[in-house]
Amino acid sequence: MTQAEIKLCSLLLQEHFGEIVEKIGVHLIRTGSQPLRVIAHDTGTSLDQVKKALCVLVQHNLVSYQVHKRGVVEYEAQCSRVLRMLRYPRYIYTTKTLYSDTGELIVEELLLNGKLTMSTVVKKVADRLTETMEDGKTMDYAEVSNTFVRLADTHFVQRCPSVPTTENSDPGPPPPAPTLVINEKDMYLVPKLSLIGKGKRRRSSDEDAAGEPKAKRPKHTTDNKEPIPDDGIYWQANLDRFHQHFRDQAIVSAVANRMDQTSSEIVRTMLRMSEITTSSSAAFTQPLSSNEVSFMFLYLSLEREGRLFDVGQGLSSNLHKALASLATATLESVVQERFGSRCARIFRLVLQKKHLEQKQVEDFAMIPAKEAKDMLYKMLSENFISLQEIPKTPDHAPSRTFYLYTVNILSAARMLLHRCYKSIANLIERRQFETKENKRLLEKSQRVEAIIASMQATGAEEAQLQEIEEMITAPERQQLETLKRNVNKLDASEIQVDETIFLLESYIECTMKRL
């Protein structure tokens, strides 16, 4: 765990959950697994606050726990899961493009709350959609349920592990912490619910139709309420499935750029046919028989010598080679942007030839010796290329040693990933600084907007509204526009850097599993 990752985790936890949760989370990231009382002692936080912070972190799958033989429960932070919070907007937007607004809100609710039952999600989403509809229109629970089932069928949402029934029926003393298990067959099994109803709108006041204040309403006993049909069956967003979708989209886009649109459609079809049966971290997709792809087999026979397909008992996509190509293209792009086109030429040359001496680089790249030496040393100092020594004699004398330049893609990808983490942390800090510097102006703008909205609801005249709008002067309005433009640029930059992080992480993970 690098300092850049710890800093980024700290910023994300503070932004999403506040200072106390950030303090506990970062402490666990730095120290590893620890029991409850040790966490409270080391952080100087009260036991009650530590419990609440751990509840939040466990609820959002950011911390896991384990019971040791002596009965001590230790908590361990999941740093990789914390970093996934960067990708929340992308998860939500992807669901919107695939399953419209209903799917978007379902995934948003699951990400905001960590874990929820299906019935709770359906009711929350139906209410939120009803709020946005015209008067007299409502969202039916059944329509939201159907979208939820489609998300489960395509594995974008999955069940959370639960306490087995045998553990509940054990007459002995309860364990220090429950053991959560789930059967792989039940992971995407949706319970049969008969949710009948429609979304409700929020009332503008706390009074009901009879005019009775909410605080004075008689409290109904919960004994008469029907039991929730899916009580204890909680759901969460399946982030690995989203990552598989992102990876497939990147591969399809790369094929379209490198070959043609027909090739990309063929690859898209192959990936779609095996998306449910292939693990998100697999190096190859599940093989497809030639009969399944007979309509494209003749075309693919021309592409077998390329990098994306393997033919064995059937046809499958070589995901590792595809990810390696994407990671290499990313490195080449960074070298060109950072050092210029001549350095990019040398980088591609060393990448293609595997090992080259300095004189060979000068000759093949057709660059003067002095410039080639400067460029090689510049990339060597930045760890984009590495130097390998091959001695002729055991004494490693420089005069009797070959010095070969080479590109270690895995090492360079790790170095670039580390820099991407630092870049995103800097972007988040800059965004927070911009917001803090203009805090007073933002609060004033929000107050004015709230006054205008309430006056419009009561039917105020245009002149009155114009008078309220003039409370914000022209220079202040220009300052707000500049702030909005800067924040939008920073947000867009965060998303772009995260796309690079995703490609590099996918390549590194896939490569490490093959070693």
What's the mean per-residue pLDDT of the chain? 82
> Which residue type does 425 have?
A
pLDDT tens sequence across 388-425: 888 887 877 777 788 888 989 999 999 999 999 999 99
- Of 2-11, 123-132, 180-189, 342-351, which gets the smallest average pLDDT? 180-189
Could you check whether 3-77 and 323-407 share the same CATH topology?
yes
- Of 68-72, 78-82, 353-357, 358-362, which gets the smallest average pLDDT? 68-72
Mean pLDDT of 316-321: 70
C-beta of residue 147 within 8 angstroms of C-beta of residue 109: no
> pLDDT value at position 288?
64
- Is the Cα dihedral 159, 164, 165, 169 positive or negative? negative
Position 82 pLDDT exceeds 70: yes
For residue 220, name the pLDDT band (cuts at 50, 70, 90): very low
> pLDDT value at position 315?
44
From CA 412, how far away is CA 372, in angstroms rounded? 20
From CA 377, how far away is CA 359, in angstroms rounded? 14
E strands, 307-443, in order: 309-311, 315-317, 386-391, 401-406
pLDDT tens sequence across 190-218: 888 777 767 676 654 444 444 445 554 54
> pLDDT value at position 300?
47
Mean pLDDT of 244-269: 79
> pLDDT value at position 170?
58
For the domain bounded by 239-317, which CATH number is listed? 1.10.10.10
- Of 7-11, 282-286, 422-426, 489-493, which gets the smallest average pLDDT? 282-286
> pLDDT value at position 224?
47
For residue 474, name the pLDDT band (cuts at 50, 70, 90): confident
Is pLDDT larger for residue 9 or for residue 390? 9
Residues 6+ apart with CB under 8 A from 59: 113, 114, 115
For a pLDDT cut of 70, what percent of the chain falls above it? 83
For residue 324, name the pLDDT band (cuts at 50, 70, 90): confident
CATH among 2.70.98.50, 3.40.50.1100, 1.10.10.10, 1.10.3720.10 for 84-166+176-200+231-237: 1.10.10.10
- Of 60-74, 121-135, 287-301, 322-336, which gets the smallest average pLDDT? 287-301
> pLDDT value at position 279?
67
Position 219 pLDDT exceeds 60: no
> pLDDT value at position 250?
84
* Neighbour tally for 277: CB within 10 Å: 9
Burial category of 282 from C-beta neighbours within 10 Å (exposed 0-12, middle 13-18, buried 19 and up): middle
C-beta of residue 183 within 8 angstroms of C-beta of residue 161: no
> pLDDT value at position 205?
45
- Of 94-108, 314-328, 358-372, 423-437, which gets the smallest average pLDDT? 314-328
* Neighbour tally for 74: CB within 10 Å: 18
Q: May I ask the CATH class of domain 323-407?
A: mainly alpha
Position 75 pLDDT exceeds 70: yes
Position 277 pLDDT exceeds 60: yes
> pLDDT value at position 202?
66
From CA 168, how far away is CA 160, in angstroms rounded? 17
Position 313 pLDDT exceeds 60: no
For residue 171, name the pLDDT band (cuts at 50, 70, 90): low
For the domain bounded by 3-77, which CATH number is listed? 1.10.10.10
Residue ranges of domains in the chain: 3-77, 84-166+176-200+231-237, 239-317, 323-407, 412-513
For residue 457, name the pLDDT band (cuts at 50, 70, 90): confident
Position 23 pLDDT exceeds 90: yes
> pLDDT value at position 172?
65
Position 222 pLDDT exceeds 50: no
Token pair of 322 as six digits: 């595809």
pLDDT tens sequence across 45-65: 899 999 999 999 999 999 998
> pLDDT value at position 227?
61
Which residues make beta-bridge pairs with 67?
A: 73
Distances (CA, A) of 359 to 12, 339, 405, 407: 48, 20, 11, 17
Mean pLDDT of 353-370: 87
For residue 223, name the pLDDT band (cuts at 50, 70, 90): very low
